[in-house]
């Protein structure tokens, strides 16, 4: 029994020791991938043995020390590559230890401000290799990051230490990406900010024309560029900046817009250094004065007339001729043609002069107004028909020297028909009679009316219908909202659904058919529009009141049926007597 206990105790002691050593190994701060300090325990012609404080020593080939072989007891820094190789020994590396130390130093010291120094040593795919100063680290310089402009000969930059900005660090893979371009841009930005520190709007500076575009020119001054827009080159109109500027030209410009806090853009101007000629032009070109000028350009909406050198005004197409038709500018004017104009508008703020050619001659409407004053009945010929009316001209238009277009609005064609219906009755070249209702010489418009000719007779007939109180009409059309009917004299009106009957159940337009003859009461009349309103409901109410008054009262005991029955018998009796 005792012997068994002793045998069992031995494995337990071994197991406890194994657990202790394993736990010490696991909890040790020294692991693979770390740089640790070791002590040389043995040196021979082939290798150096190093104790790093773990269960086994590491072996390093003598050649790795590059001639600086340590002595026993010396301390060396090594990189734990593997805890145990295929021989069961620890694998240590001097090279990796040095690299790891350099990376630690690089990240801790050289990258404090994000900049490093180095030499370009060769070309690689996509860029160049740079040997960083005081380090064995080789960084990658992309081709696009060498300079702000393409470099024709990289040899000019080889062999010279340059300052670079670090763009990216990948410690795991040992990669560093740097940029020389970023350094140049920062330096240029700092220099520009220093030069522009005291620049403000209103300053006058001297610069050189660097580039010319369609919309302006770029001027270089104090090592920076500003935009000189075409609208700020001259108070007069120019078509292209090259008319007054050339590349390399030295000019004085005024800073008209610059806000370093909101934008780096600088706006410059030349005309702001010159006197605004428009102030004197406004005194010369007074509204109403006549001048002679030359047509310089023709557009769809009008023509530009040069009044003097670099001074132009616009004649809108509506101001070319008194013609009341559509004006095609190119059919009337030619570039280079000399014309007489009158000033009708001067806007100094917008640098605009409005001109008129037609106002140099008498307005035909003035003659027209004398011969055909408002209220005159005239014979006309239909020239065109549009959605809103009919354009006509007086048959004897030659009397005033020019035909005048007259508009008869669609609403002024007929009393009895709707505007759209009335328009369908006419076509070009038809002869019509109308009365002049309005002449607007300021807007070159003449209006007339056809229905006003029959106003007196229509009014007399309408007043007769109103006087009768009750009219017989014919159903022309039925709609959900009511029925359209015609009265004597071809007068048309509309009876609303609510006026079709006093009983809601009978207020249905489908009760009626086209052609039905019905009686209705006149309830209103608009003398100006010659519109009459009718109601069948009002007529039924009125007839009921008359029947009650003549044949009895429901309050006296008679029913409404008795009263209406008596009324009907009375009507039959009267008809029999007739």
- Per-residue pLDDT of the chain in tens (578 residues, 90 and over written 9): 334 344 344 456 666 666 655 555 554 556 666 777 787 777 787 787 777 777 777 777 777 777 677 788 778 777 776 776 666 677 777 767 776 666 666 666 655 567 888 888 888 888 888 888 777 778 888 888 888 888 777 877 887 888 888 888 776 666 788 888 888 888 887 777 777 777 888 888 888 999 999 999 999 887 788 899 998 888 777 889 998 899 989 999 998 888 776 656 888 999 888 877 777 788 888 898 999 999 999 998 999 999 988 788 999 988 888 776 677 888 889 999 999 999 999 888 788 899 999 889 888 888 888 888 998 888 888 988 988 999 888 865 444 445 778 899 998 888 777 888 889 999 998 999 899 999 888 777 899 998 888 776 777 777 777 878 888 889 989 998 999 888 887 778 889 999 898 888 888 988 999 989 988 888 888 777 778 888 888 888 888 888 777 766 544 444 555 555 554 444 443 333 33
Cα 331 to Cα 91: distance, rounded to the nearest angstrom: 99
* Co-location of 370 and 407 in the same domain: yes
* Co-location of 220 and 301 in the same domain: no
- The boundaries of the domain holding residue 371 are 364-449
* Co-location of 466 and 534 in the same domain: yes
For residue 420, being part of any structural domain is answered with: yes
Count CB neighbours of 479 within 10 A: 10
**Final residue before a domain boundary, out of 187, 214, 238:** 187
* Co-location of 132 and 214 in the same domain: no
* Co-location of 269 and 281 in the same domain: no
Q: List, in order, residues 6 or more apart from 403 with CB less than 8 Å away.
A: 324, 393, 394, 397
For residue 3, being part of any structural domain is answered with: no
Residue among 458, 406, 459 at smallest CA distance from 433 = 406
Phi/psi at 157 (5° precision): -105, -10
Residue among 494, 493, 491 at smallest CA distance from 509 = 494
* Co-location of 281 and 265 in the same domain: no
According to DSSP, the β-strands at 75-82 and 90-93 are antiparallel
Residue among 220, 127, 222, 145 at smallest CA distance from 181 = 145
The answer to whether 176 and 115 are in contact (CB under 8 A) is no
Identify the pLDDT of residue 463: 77
* Co-location of 265 and 288 in the same domain: no
The DSSP line for 52-117 is -SSSS-EEEEGGGGTT-PPPTT-EEEEEEEES--TTS-EEEEHHHHHHHHHHHHIIIIITSSSEEE
Cα 21 to Cα 50: distance, rounded to the nearest angstrom: 20
**Final residue before a domain boundary, out of 254, 273, 292:** 273
pTM of the model: 0.42
For residue 561, being part of any structural domain is answered with: no
Identify the pLDDT of residue 8: 46
Residue among 306, 290, 296, 292 at smallest CA distance from 333 = 296
Identify the pLDDT of residue 263: 59
- Give the side-chain half-sphere CA count within 13 A for 479: 9
Residue among 381, 386, 382, 454 at smallest CA distance from 420 = 386
For residue 70, being part of any structural domain is answered with: yes
Identify the pLDDT of residue 17: 63
For residue 350, being part of any structural domain is answered with: no
Q: Which helix (H) or strand (E) holds 547?
A: helix 536-551
Q: Count the domains in the chain.
A: 6
* Co-location of 391 and 429 in the same domain: yes
* Co-location of 480 and 538 in the same domain: yes
CATH of residue 219's domain is 2.40.50.140
For residue 370, being part of any structural domain is answered with: yes
Identify the pLDDT of residue 552: 60
* Co-location of 436 and 481 in the same domain: no
Residue among 533, 385, 375 at smallest CA distance from 453 = 375
* Co-location of 503 and 529 in the same domain: yes
Helix (H, G, I), strand (E, B) or coil at 534: strand
For residue 327, being part of any structural domain is answered with: yes
The answer to whether 217 and 245 are in contact (CB under 8 A) is yes
Identify the pLDDT of residue 487: 84
Count CB neighbours of 403 within 10 A: 19
Identify the pLDDT of residue 354: 93
**Final residue before a domain boundary, out of 136, 167, 187:** 187
Identify the pLDDT of residue 401: 46
For residue 313, being part of any structural domain is answered with: yes
DSSP state of 29: S
Helix (H, G, I), strand (E, B) or coil at 459: helix
* Co-location of 503 and 524 in the same domain: yes
Residue among 197, 201, 222, 193 at smallest CA distance from 210 = 222
The answer to whether 251 and 315 are in contact (CB under 8 A) is no
Helix (H, G, I), strand (E, B) or coil at 156: helix
């Amino acid at each position: 029994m005792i012997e068994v206990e002793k045998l069992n105790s031995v494995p337990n002691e071994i197991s406890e020791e194994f657990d202790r050593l394993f736990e010490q190994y696991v909890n040790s701060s020294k692991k693979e991938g770390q740089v640790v300090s070791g002590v040389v325990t043995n040196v021979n012609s082939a290798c150096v043995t190093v104790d790093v404080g773990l269960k086994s020593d590491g072996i390093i080939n003598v050649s790795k020390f590059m001639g600086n072989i340590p002595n026993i007891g010396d301390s060396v820094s090594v990189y734990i590559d593997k805890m145990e190789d295929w021989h069961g020994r620890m694998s240590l590396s001097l090279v990796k230890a040095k690299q790891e130390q350099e990376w630690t130093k690089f990240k801790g010291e050289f990258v404090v401000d994000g900049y490093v120094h180095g030499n370009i040593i060769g070309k690689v795919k996509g860029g160049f290799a740079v040997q960083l100063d005081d380090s064995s680290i080789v960084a990658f310089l992309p081709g696009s990051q060498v300079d702000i402009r393409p470099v024709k000969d990289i040899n000019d930059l080889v062999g010279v230490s340059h300052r670079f900005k670090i763009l990216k660090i990948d410690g795991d893979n040992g990669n560093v990406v740097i940029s020389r371009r970023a350094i140049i841009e920062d330096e240029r930005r700092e220099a520009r900010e220093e030069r522009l520190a005291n620049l403000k709007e209103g300053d006058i500076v001297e610069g050189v024309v660097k580039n010319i575009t369609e919309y302006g020119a770029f001027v270089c001054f104090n090592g920076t560029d500003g935009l000189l827009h075409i609208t700020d080159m001259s108070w007069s109109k120019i078509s292209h900046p090259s008319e007054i500027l050339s590349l390399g030209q030295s000019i004085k410009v005024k800073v008209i817009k610059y806000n370093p806090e909101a934008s780096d853009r600088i706006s410059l101007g030349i005309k702001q250094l010159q006197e605004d000629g428009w102030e004197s032009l406004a005194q010369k070109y007074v509204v109403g004065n006549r001048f002679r000028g030359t047509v310089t350009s023709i557009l769809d909406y009008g023509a530009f007339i040069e009044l003097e050198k670099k001074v132009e005004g616009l004649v809108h197409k509506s101001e070319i001729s008194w013609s009341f038709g559509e004006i095609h500018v190119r059919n009337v004017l030619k570039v280079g043609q000399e014309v007489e104009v009158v000033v009708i508008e001067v806007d100094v703020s917008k640098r605009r002069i409005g001109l008129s050619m037609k106002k140099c001659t008498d307005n035909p409407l003035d003659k027209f107004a004398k011969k055909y004053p408002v209220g005159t009945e005239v014979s006309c010929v239909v020239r065109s028909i549009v959605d809103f009316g009919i354009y006509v001209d007086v048959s004897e238009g030659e009397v005033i020297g020019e035909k005048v277009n007259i508009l008869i609005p669609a609403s002024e064609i007929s009393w009895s028909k709707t505007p759209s219906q009335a328009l369908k009755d006419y076509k070009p070249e038809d002869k019509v009679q109308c009365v002049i209702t309005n002449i607007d010489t300021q807007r070159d418009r003449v209006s007339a009316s056809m229905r006003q000719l029959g106003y007196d007779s229509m009014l007399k007939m309408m007043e007769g219908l109103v006087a009768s109180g009750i009219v017989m009409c014919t159903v022309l059309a039925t709609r959900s909202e009511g029925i359209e009917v015609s009265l004597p004299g071809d007068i048309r009106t509309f009876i609303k659904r609510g006026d079709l009957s006093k009983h809601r159940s009978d207020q249905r337009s489908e009760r009626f058919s086209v052609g039905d003859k019905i009686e209705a009461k006149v309830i209103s009349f608009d003398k100006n529009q010659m519109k009459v309103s009718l109601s069948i409901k009002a007529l039924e109410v009125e007839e009921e009141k008359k029947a009650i008054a003549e044949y009895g009262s429901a309050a006296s005991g008679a029913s409404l049926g008795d009263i209406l029955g008596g009324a009907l018998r009375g009507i039959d009796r009267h008809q029999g007597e007739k």
